[in-house]
Amino acid sequence: MRGMSEYDEDKVLADYVLDHFSELATKRESIALKAAYLLSKDQTTKVAAKIREKEGYWLNSPDVQDDLADGIPALRVTVSRRILSDHADKVVIARCEKCSSILRTPKAQQCLWCGHDWH
């Protein structure tokens, strides 16, 4: 169980939306998110090296650079807000009935923040 003092609604919401509804991102957003993922990983791993070799050309794209100008967390929040705005009818945010925190998955039955369990 995580402490409520660690709960950051914007970050948790962005993670939730992008983990479960990333197919609603635009092509440009998807490319920027992929670049962000690459940039956040240890570049010495074989997997990161293969991805950079295969698809890393867009890391230097002006669009990607613009999208990443404010940093990876800001990009994730911006994309998740756009998805929520444009696809409110498709995105269901599961919240704890006790503390109203966002749950880890749409089907979760336990809150990672307060520990409430409704199995």
Q: Which residues of 32-48 are buried (b: 16+ CB within 10 A; e: fewer)?
A: bbbbbebeeeeeeeeeb
Q: Distance between CA atoms of 48 and 34, rounded to whole angstroms?
A: 11
pLDDT of residue 43: 63
pLDDT of residue 13: 97
For helices 27-40 and 46-55, what crossing angle results, to 10°? 150
pLDDT of residue 100: 96
Rounded average pLDDT per 10-residue block, the chain, 119 residues: 78 97 96 86 69 69 91 96 98 96 96 93
pLDDT of residue 6: 86
